Structure 1
Amino acid sequence: MHLTMELQSNPISSHLAIDVVSPFANETQSPRVGINRPPMFVLSFADITYKVHQTKNQSFSPFSKSNKENSTQRTRVRTLLDSVSGEAREGEIFAVLGASGSGKSTLIDALANRILRESLKGSITLNGDNLESRLLKVLSAYVMQDDLLYPMLTVKETLMYATEFSLPRSVPKEKKKNRVEELIKQLGLEAAANAIIGDEGHRGVSGGERRRVSIGINIVHDPILLFLDEPTSGLDSTSAFMVVEVLKEIARRGSIVILSIHQPSYRILNLLDRLLFLSRGQTVFYGPPSSLSMFFSEFGKPIPDNENPVEFALDQILEYEETQDGATELVEFNKIWQRQHQDLFSLYGGDISHIPLDQALASSFASGRLVSGSNDTNSMSMASVRKFTNPFWIEMGVLVKRAFTSTCRMPEMFMIRLGAILITGIMFATIFWKLDNSPRGAQERVGFFSLAISSIYYGSVDGLPVFIQERYIYLRETANNSYRKSSFVLSNAIVSFLPLIILSIGFALTTFFAIGLDGGMRGFFFYTAIILASFWAANSYVTFSSAIVSNITTGVTIAMAILCFYLLFSGFFVNRDRIPDYWLWFHYMSLAKYPYQAVMQSEFSDPNICFVRGTQMFNNTPIQRFSESTKLEVLASISKSLHLNLTNTTCTHY
């Protein structure tokens, strides 16, 4: 029976509808997993198969002008997982091993519901019940291979913000702080609690401590299922052992820990409870580490006494993979061996599937486990488990505070950008100093506006690496439903607005009065507003660019190329009437068009300002090369012919 039906029929499932039940256990409380009782939770997966279709174009004539006439499409089905089965229990560490490309990460993703269930064949159950996607997100956590953290936040702050996202607002602030202190002690981070995470330019915590922080931000809600993709990669042996030791303690407290790992040391091997070796998506061994020697002995290749069993097993698998049949012989032997040694997989003796999931959850919550909560504390349906833990305004407050704290701890970035803007403004001021109202002055005003808008947009592209770094954090947190996407976008806009105001005022002050732009104080404020709008549009454009590209070099190249087109079609280089109809859409899409037209309208709309007087009307015409006296005679002749009183001071063009 599906979990949805059971929750509706069983009153004990009302425990799912609470915000938090006894959220914080005493630090001296003993682990939840008892020695003499069967595990409360068991994640079982049977015959997991995952195939992807790859399409290739095959061309029979590389010199042909028409690929369509001389090419065919070949679809190849690639099997990433092939009938993989196993069982992970509460209190244990279940480790998936294998060479690169064996399917380790794919299996972890499949179990963690990060692959569409429609694409998978087989069954994945918790205590015999199929897990709904929304409930699985509440009960589980997924730790990525990369440590995606804000570098300028301290360890304690990073865990505190994760707690704010994961626990509902009904939990008092003091209890959230207690949870963070408990996590710091559990993760062995007491000495680094007040140190920043750090990055290439800022000294911070070690790699092992960083990895434990990554684990900590995912277990603040005390998940029943914890999935980790290569948690020891990139760490030295001591740091790797400390990380797995922390995971073992998490398992002892009542969680199912499932991880992928590459060549664990002897010490780490002793902390693992179940091993699953994969080769090209197929199972070549499944069982406890102690049975690995028995497996290969019965296979006919005993493990030497002085060799690491895991390294020996991986070497054997690699040798078989290099042959034509691959590891088929090991796969088939494993199936026979599994049937012959069923006793190895009955750790507590007997079937534990009779423990209903709703009862197991109720008992676990009562013992001090956390849950994200529901909208209706009296509801007993799956709909009562809400998608997001906190309301929109709570998310906004936490995100704004975190972004503001992180930004304030990197003042050098803002100061460099402010310095660049001020220097650019001063250069413009000296080049276009005190422009007059002559035709040349009008032309130079137009040139200045174009350069000013261009410099604002091009200068904003340098923020792309920061946005791309935050993008990965955003993807991780929104995948866990930590907050709404709209909350992140709006909070970033709010935090970036104040620095943009300062940049806009600085640029306006250094250029408006020095260049002699029109409009007085009213014109100055309008000019400043246009500069601010341009900065904000550029900031939004860079944010958008970081969302569609994942590589900094590629992102900068694409962003700069599109900016070139924005400027080309803005109306400065090519008049709108000269743009072909099939490119007009780009003219209206151009971010540079609107601020450019706004400053032009502001500067040249005053009818009291004259840019052409008297003989200046002959500039850029053949008459320009004549002497001033000749020009006056021509002007007088025109005046007589048109019956007008035209003198050298008469305004002939506004």
Structure 2
Amino acid sequence: MAFQGLNLTNATLPDVIAILPDLTNLGNLTALSNPPPTNQICFIDDRAIPVVIQTAEQWNDWGCEFNNATLLPTYCPPLPACQEVRLSGGVCPPNGPLEPYVCPAGSYCPHEGGKLQCPAGSFCPKGSVEPIPCSFGSNCRAGSGQQTTYLYIFILLIVDIMIITATLLAKIREAYKRKHPQEKVTLKRAMTSYRKARPGFRNNRKYEELEDEQEPFTADVESIAMNSRVDFRRRPTGFEALGEQEADFVVGDHMKQDDGADKTDLQKFVQSLSKCLGATKFGLTFEYQNLQFHPKKSPRPILSEVTGLINAGSLWGVMGASGAGKSTFVNVLMGKQSNTGGVTRVNGVKGDIKKYKKIIGYVPQDDIVLPELTVRENILHSARIRLPANWSDAEIQEHVDILLACLQLSHVKNSLVGSTAAPVISGGQRKRVSIGMELAAAPMALFLDEPTSGLDATAANSIMSTLKALSRLGMTIVTIIHQPRQEIFESLDSLVLLGAGRMIYQGPERGIQPHFEGLGFAFPDHANPADVMGDIIAGEGRHYKPKGDATETKSLSRALKLRGAPWYRQIWFCLRRALLQQYRMKSSFFFELGIGGLAGFLIGLAELNNHGENFRGIFNPPYDILSSSIDYTSVPQMALLVGLSIGLTASAPGVKIFGEEKLVYYREAAAGHNRFAYYMGKVLSTLPRMVLACFHFTTLFMLLSTPRISYTNAFAAHLLYFWCIYGLASCVSMVTRREDGPLIATMLSLIVGVLNGMSPTLRTVRKWHMQWLWRSSPGTWLAEGYFSENIAPLRYLYQIDIATNGVGYSLGKYSDDMVMLLVIGLIYRLVAFFGLRFVNRAKQR
């Protein structure tokens, strides 16, 4: 029985006095006619019986023998000192054998009476009527009042050791690969000698050694080192070599060459393009007539009466002063913006240009690449997403390797790209990676925005040579360029000059000077024609002037239908890339796990003194009058601390999932990537992080706080709350700047944590008609689940319905609470997805 004491409900005073002589050895209980001030009055059938208790503790065991289901204890008013202890929430020993008291922790009191010590392998909280078996992995000695489980801390240590071991093995493997690059030994030895002799040679550990792209090098190393006339520069290969050739390049004839020798990288790339497009003609023709673009809020049009034709197989430059409409013109041609007037045609077909986005590549001015991935991984992901769905992975891998060779990136293909603040590869290589991400999709037209911006002269010439080569393959190359140097300007085949949104000139590059000279402008000797032309169209010309619809081809239609991997495969590719990013950012991952474990430890430490007893209510009848001060808020308070700590742990990482790479998403969305696949890949990649962070938090928290809720139920509640906070942080990342996101997400996580129904209670909130707001917060459902699982087991002892009505929670709905947490997390993610999809829509076209 949960209470102990002697029941003398039907006894009379003579009966009590009669049994006292037989019990003197147990407690020295004596009836007095004139009790001293320390005596106590016990009431039996409304008759006062004065008794003196000298050693009340000695009556405990004796009292239990007379306490059973039919003989209930009788109430004796406590002494003043005892009452003070009870009002403060403590437990006072009984004032005599006539008064019951709650069975102490570490013991249990069966219904038939008596107090027994809790056996080993079980634990007995205060008020237990039977031992509770300890779960596997717990340490429960005899007389245990709470369960301390060590199984999960042991599993946690194993998991952490496995993670650390896997990380160390991966680092050892990477170091081994750096020391043992798979390349030809002859060149490696020569370059090793040259690297030592030549100052300033890049020796970055993340670089791979240069691959042998020349003939086998067999000269003596010492003679090489001493011969200053030896040129160690690699001869141009791939696109760059093609760009430097003077002879015309005919795709069909080049593919037909077969002298029995291995095909060059360029021939292989042409063959791959032909296979992808289903034809040997790789370019698109853009025709525009009276093109106009006038935004609603703009006082004047940005483009007006622009007419012309951009043929396939040539390199076009779009030039003009700032505000001339260059970017708008290119965006309209690509379909990123809709023209407000005029007609545009692709290959003679009038219609929506957006449907061609899968075969149109766009390289932004900023090199939007993922710094955590290598050169090859960035390009490979683009190829997997955008190449035809019927290509095998082996064909995609080969296509990427050929492209890397043509772009002269093979020697750095396994190097991390790095960020602009902490670069790993050079600026020119970084730009070629950005171009390669578009070429991997085998586009028929390629648009570039300032491809030489920020590059030195050598790197800029290399990029333009590559673009020149691509145009000779038959692709349509259109690049926005601003104040190019003379060599770059002369590499352009044709020009489109814009001024104040109007067409000034369109035609071959060699005709630009005669055109302006015909208008009366004089080009100084040895001047860069691009600079002179730039001054003229910018309004500074005084310094240089003295006093048809056709049907769409079947091959193009078929290419459009086959382009792009199915959405479910894109989800898999995006998931793999996101997991690889997290692996490359191991410090952030370990930091999140550490913060989760520290938060669980601190919150558990705050609950340590409760020893798992975090609720006091009113005892069930007939013992309700014995109740001490109630405590209905400890469990909601514990849920509040849990919610706040999880919010602080997960909010910043949740923002980082999307907030760090919006530009990457905009670029990929504009290239035709499936937006849902990108989003799902990111969401799924967060699940391992959430599970491991929750595991660290829950294990340390449960080890110290030992609440009545089971470990599995607590873990499920914590994991679903992590799920909600990550979803909330994703919503924040869609509408805030990268710098502001973590702070705003942290504040919102504190708000939803505080709205958990502890203070003000849900009962109070219901009177305000504001319960919907609290119920929309995941903190309320977490607290209700905690309240239900911690309080429901105490129904045999307390009137928990009174407590439930007092705070406003519902009992017995733990599963419903968890489902609501899952639903709220899903709602957050739907909002985040629509935010990703519809915020900044112009950048996704």
Scaled by the length of structure 2, what TM-score is found?
Answer: 0.56
The 3 A distance-change label for structure 1 pair 41 and 471 is closer
Q: Is the 8 A contact 2:385 2:565 kept in 1?
A: yes
Aligned to 2:103: none
**Counterpart-to-counterpart distance in 2, 1:39 and 1:410:** 39
**Aligned with 1:471 (options 659, 662, 674):** 662
**Counterpart-to-counterpart distance in 2, 1:389 and 1:163:** 9
CA shift for structure 1 position 184: 0.8
**Counterpart-to-counterpart distance in 2, 1:468 and 1:164:** 24
In the alignment, residue 472 of structure 1 is paired with which amino acid? L
**Counterpart-to-counterpart distance in 2, 1:472 and 1:372:** 31
**Aligned with 1:576 (options 762, 769, 777):** 762
**Aligned with 2:303 (options 81, 84, 89):** 81
The 3 A distance-change label for structure 1 pair 282 and 200 is closer
**Counterpart-to-counterpart distance in 1, 2:391 and 2:282:** 29
Aligned to 1:100: 322
**Counterpart-to-counterpart distance in 2, 1:203 and 1:459:** 30
CA shift for structure 1 position 474: 2.4
Q: Is the 8 A contact 1:373 1:389 kept in 2?
A: no
- Which region of structure 1 is more displaced relative to structure 2, 162-171 or 458-467? 458-467
Does the alignment pair 1:544 with 2:731?
A: yes
CA shift for structure 1 position 166: 1.4
**Aligned with 2:585 (options 410, 422, 425):** 410
Aligned to 1:499: 689
CA shift for structure 1 position 565: 3.5
- Which region of structure 1 is more displaced relative to structure 2, 388-397 or 190-199? 388-397
Instruction: Spell out, residue by residue over 1:238-268, the C-alpha distance to the aligned partner (whole angstroms, 9 max, x if none).
Output: 2222222211111111101111111111121
Aligned to 1:480: 671
In the alignment, residue 652 of structure 2 is paired with which amino acid? D
More relative contact order, 1 or 2 (CA 8 Å, 6+ apart): 1
In the alignment, residue 230 of structure 1 is paired with which amino acid? E
Query: Per the alignment, in what secondary structure is the counterpart of residue 553 of structure 1?
Result: coil
- Which region of structure 1 is more displaced relative to structure 2, 397-406 or 249-258? 397-406
Instruction: Spell out, residue by residue over 1:115-162, the C-alpha distance to the aligned partner (whole angstroms, 9 max, x if none).
Output: 13xx42112223322244464123322222222222221111222221
**Counterpart-to-counterpart distance in 1, 2:669 and 2:365:** 17
Instruction: Spell out, residue by residue over 1:298-326, the C-alpha distance to the aligned partner (whole angstroms, 9 max, x if none).
Output: 333312122222222222333459x9xxx
Does the alignment pair 1:459 with 2:634?
A: no
CA shift for structure 1 position 106: 0.8
**Aligned with 2:700 (options 510, 523, 534):** 510
Q: Is the 8 A contact 2:639 2:782 kept in 1?
A: no
Aligned to 1:48: 291
Q: Is the 8 A contact 2:636 2:783 kept in 1?
A: no
Query: Per the alignment, in what secondary structure is the counterpart of residue 786 of structure 2?
Result: helix
**Aligned with 2:718 (options 521, 531, 536):** 531
- Which region of structure 1 is more displaced relative to structure 2, 431-440 or 157-166? 431-440
The 3 A distance-change label for structure 1 pair 42 and 357 is farther
The 3 A distance-change label for structure 1 pair 564 and 515 is closer
Aligned-pair Cα RMSD in Å: 3.3
Q: Is the 8 A contact 2:320 2:534 kept in 1?
A: yes
Aligned to 1:602: 789
- Which region of structure 1 is more displaced relative to structure 2, 454-463 or 431-440? 431-440
Query: Per the alignment, in what secondary structure is the counterpart of residue 277 of structure 1?
Result: strand
Aligned length: 510
**Counterpart-to-counterpart distance in 2, 1:604 and 1:140:** 63
Q: Is the 8 A contact 1:109 1:115 kept in 2?
A: yes
Instruction: Spell out, residue by residue over 1:30-78, the C-alpha distance to the aligned partner (whole angstroms, 9 max, x if none).
Output: 9799xxx999753221211100122xxxxxxxxxxxxxxxxxxxxx533
Query: Per the alignment, in what secondary structure is the counterpart of residue 660 of structure 2?
Result: helix
Query: Per the alignment, in what secondary structure is the counterpart of residue 336 of structure 2?
Result: coil
Does the alignment pair 1:423 with 2:610?
A: no
Instruction: Spell out, residue by residue over 1:544-603, the C-alpha distance to the aligned partner (whole angstroms, 9 max, x if none).
Output: 222233x11333344344334423433233223444867544323223222222222222
**Aligned with 1:276 (options 493, 496, 503):** 496
In the alignment, residue 390 of structure 1 is paired with which amino acid? A
**Counterpart-to-counterpart distance in 1, 2:730 and 2:282:** 47
Aligned to 1:115: 337
CA shift for structure 1 position 444: 4.3
**Aligned with 1:562 (options 748, 759, 768):** 748
Q: Is the 8 A contact 1:568 1:574 kept in 2?
A: no
CA shift for structure 1 position 526: 0.4
Matches within 5 A, 1:199-348: 199=419, 203-319=423-539
**Counterpart-to-counterpart distance in 1, 2:376 and 2:281:** 36
Query: Per the alignment, in what secondary structure is the counterpart of residue 270 of structure 1?
Result: helix
Does the alignment pair 1:91 with 2:313?
A: yes
- Which region of structure 1 is more displaced relative to structure 2, 88-97 or 284-293? 284-293
Larger CA Rg, structure 1 vs 2? 2
**Counterpart-to-counterpart distance in 2, 1:455 and 1:233:** 46
CA shift for structure 1 position 609: 7.8
Q: Is the 8 A contact 1:44 1:86 kept in 2?
A: yes
Which runs of no fewer than 5 residues in structure 1 stay unpaired? Answer: 1-24, 55-75, 324-329, 331-352, 366-370, 375-384, 614-654
Matches within 5 A, 1:21-60: 27-29=265-267, 41-54=284-297
- Which region of structure 1 is more displaced relative to structure 2, 39-48 or 306-315? 39-48
Does the alignment pair 1:398 with 2:588?
A: no
Which runs of no fewer than 5 residues in structure 2 stay unpaired? Answer: 1-262, 274-279, 617-629, 801-845
In the alignment, residue 588 of structure 2 is paired with which amino acid? M
The 3 A distance-change label for structure 1 pair 28 and 114 is closer
In the alignment, residue 42 of structure 1 is paired with which amino acid? T
**Counterpart-to-counterpart distance in 2, 1:434 and 1:441:** 15
Q: Is the 8 A contact 2:283 2:476 kept in 1?
A: no
**Aligned with 2:350 (options 121, 130, 142):** 130
The 3 A distance-change label for structure 1 pair 275 and 174 is same
Q: Is the 8 A contact 2:373 2:417 kept in 1?
A: yes
The 3 A distance-change label for structure 1 pair 181 and 136 is same
Instruction: Spell out, residue by residue over 1:510-548, the C-alpha distance to the aligned partner (whole angstroms, 9 max, x if none).
Output: 1113112113xxx11100111111111111222222223
In the alignment, residue 476 of structure 1 is paired with which amino acid? R
Aligned to 1:432: 607
In the alignment, residue 99 of structure 1 is paired with which amino acid? A
**Aligned with 1:186 (options 406, 429, 433):** 406
**Counterpart-to-counterpart distance in 1, 2:776 and 2:540:** 58
The 3 A distance-change label for structure 1 pair 82 and 460 is same
CA shift for structure 1 position 29: 3.1
**Counterpart-to-counterpart distance in 2, 1:38 and 1:28:** 16
Q: Is the 8 A contact 2:359 2:445 kept in 1?
A: yes
**Counterpart-to-counterpart distance in 2, 1:495 and 1:127:** 42
The 3 A distance-change label for structure 1 pair 313 and 538 is same
The 3 A distance-change label for structure 1 pair 241 and 500 is same
Query: Per the alignment, in what secondary structure is the counterpart of residue 302 of structure 2?
Result: strand
The 3 A distance-change label for structure 1 pair 461 and 279 is farther
Q: State, as a whole percentage, how many aligned pairs show the same letter.
A: 23
Scaled by the length of structure 1, what TM-score is found?
Answer: 0.71
**Aligned with 1:593 (options 774, 780, 793):** 780
In the alignment, residue 670 of structure 2 is paired with which amino acid? A
Q: Is the 8 A contact 2:650 2:726 kept in 1?
A: yes
**Counterpart-to-counterpart distance in 1, 2:798 and 2:457:** 77
Q: Is the 8 A contact 2:657 2:682 kept in 1?
A: no
**Counterpart-to-counterpart distance in 2, 1:230 and 1:222:** 21
**Counterpart-to-counterpart distance in 1, 2:609 and 2:426:** 56
**Counterpart-to-counterpart distance in 1, 2:489 and 2:282:** 21
